[in-house]
Amino acid sequence: MFFTYLRRELRRRRKAALVVASGLALGIALVIVVTSVSAGMGKAQDKVLQSLYGLGTDMTVTKAAAPTASSSDRPRFRFDAQDNDSDAEQSTDRVMVQGFETLSAATVATVGEQSGVADAAGGLSLRVIKINGQFTRGQFRQGESGGSGGGGRQRGEAGGSARPQGEVQGGGADFDVDNYSVYGADVTEPELGPLTSSTISSGRTFKTSETDGKVAVVDSAYAKEKSLKVGSTLTISGVTFSVIGIATADSGDAAANVYIPLAQAQTLADAKSKVTTIYVKATDSQKIDSVKATIQKNVSGTTVTTSADLADTVSGSLSTASSLAADVGKWLSIAVLIAAFLVAGLLTSSAVSRRVREFGTLKALGWKSGRVTRQVVGEAVVNGLLGGALGIALGLAGAYAVTAISPTLQAQLGAGAGVGGGQGGPGGGGFGRRAAARTLDVALTAPVSVTTVAVAVALAVAGGLIAGAFGGWRASRLRPADALRRVE
């Protein structure tokens, strides 16, 4: 009887049911789109952060002191004078530690022993400045005497001796300056560090046995610029490295131009048993803040930076859009949803007032107030489910449209991004590097999860119940005698 009457009433009042369902559908669709776009923003931010630190890295530890460069830290280049006719090519390079601040390699073990730390690995970020070129000897050409008569002789006598007239033609210096970054990786910890944010597109990565090997993995962009490939050789400060792999950054710029084993990097920079950054993986990603506090308390003189800290330094349209989606979009969807619920309730209540004679007759025939209320609530819940189905369809269509269009957002990583102590420059590697201003383009998607759909269904049922509560309350208050005296 309940379902028969329900089906008949919904069919008889199709337009009113469609209006209620449409209002709920718009609110639910907006919630789905905003939730999906927010999830896409989160994925885009993770992609940007992945270009700044390695996969599996929850936080980094750097030296707390601000990096300062003394006059002795400035690179000095010396070239020998060539006293022969051949213009020989000269080359020299200098290897410097990024940021001029280092930690003892023993600190890596200390950090790894802290509660909540699953693993820790050190890395050394270097900057190499290479100057290569040659001096060219100029040619002196004798010129004619400047004038006749005694004027010239008088000038010569006054000056004590006569200077030859002529000029030097040609000659000079032609030098090329190459400035690139090198990262010393702990090859025994392949799952930690900035190299894990790149994919080996050619060759292979380091073996755990190559702790002191003269091998290198080169970023694909730098390899293309310098015409390097697997099997090529690369000389750094007189040490020749064999290129064993080409790495392509998964997102944005690579952490470094060249990756070499940590021991080799320490030797090149004369920084034995030193690291610039310690990459840390926590045992539980939900307890990162407590692990950070533990390290800061027990390991003095260090600064701990998490992905949340680094995310605050990302600006640009991605950051703006993320804020809008998280703040304006969230409150807008809530406001629209509340408005949809209120409209659905008012429309249902209004429909009850137009059915006073009908409900009065049903009560006169023996229907209890609870049965009348259940009938009204049942109709409202069906309208809510219909609105939910329509809203889910509209929300999925909106999310698909955003993913299909894939609008490009920009994430700007300025010099202020070095919140972890500033170890490193562009390609310095890790949370702690102070990156030069650069912009990453990230395509926005709107993934829809099963949880989002489940929430939409729950909202649809809640909307129907709220609307039914309004109408059921009105219907339960009707008295048969009063209802039968009213005319529709």
Q: What is the pLDDT along the chain (488 residues), one digit of tens a residue?
A: 566 766 666 677 777 777 778 877 888 888 888 888 877 777 776 666 555 555 557 788 888 865 555 545 555 655 555 554 456 666 677 888 887 688 999 999 999 999 999 899 999 999 988 877 666 666 666 665 544 444 444 444 444 555 556 676 656 666 667 789 999 999 998 888 888 888 899 999 999 999 999 999 999 999 999 999 999 999 898 899 999 999 998 766 677 899 999 999 999 998 889 999 999 988 887 788 889 999 989 998 888 888 667 655 555 555 555 565 566 556 766 777 777 777 777 777 666 666 667 777 777 777 777 777 777 777 778 878 888 888 889 989 988 888 888 777 666 654 443 333 333 333 344 433 433 445 666 677 888 888 888 888 887 778 777 777 766 676 666 666 665 565 54
Question: Is the Cβ–Cβ distance between 260 and 234 less than 8 Å?
Answer: no
- Name the token pair of 468: 């039914």
Residue 20: the pLDDT is 76
Q: How far, in Å, CA of 479 to CA of 359, rounded?
A: 9
Tell me the C-alpha distance between 369 and 293, whole Å: 61
C-alpha to C-alpha distance for 128 and 120, rounded to whole angstroms: 26
Lookup: tokens for 68: 């300062």
- Indicate the DSSP class of residue 328: I
Cα–Cα distance for residue pair 365/371, rounded to 1 Å: 12
Spatial separation of the C-alpha atoms in residues 380 and 472, rounded to whole Å: 9
Coil, helix or strand at residue 89: strand
- Number of alpha carbons in the 13 Å side-chain half-sphere of residue 258: 32
Q: How many residues does the chain have?
A: 488
Query: Residue 384: CB partners within 8 Å, gap ≥ 6?
Result: 20, 21, 24, 344, 460, 461, 462, 463, 464, 465, 467
Sign of CA dihedral 189, 194, 197, 203: negative
Six-digit token string for 485: 């005296």
**Inter-residue contact 149 to 94 (CB < 8 Å):** no
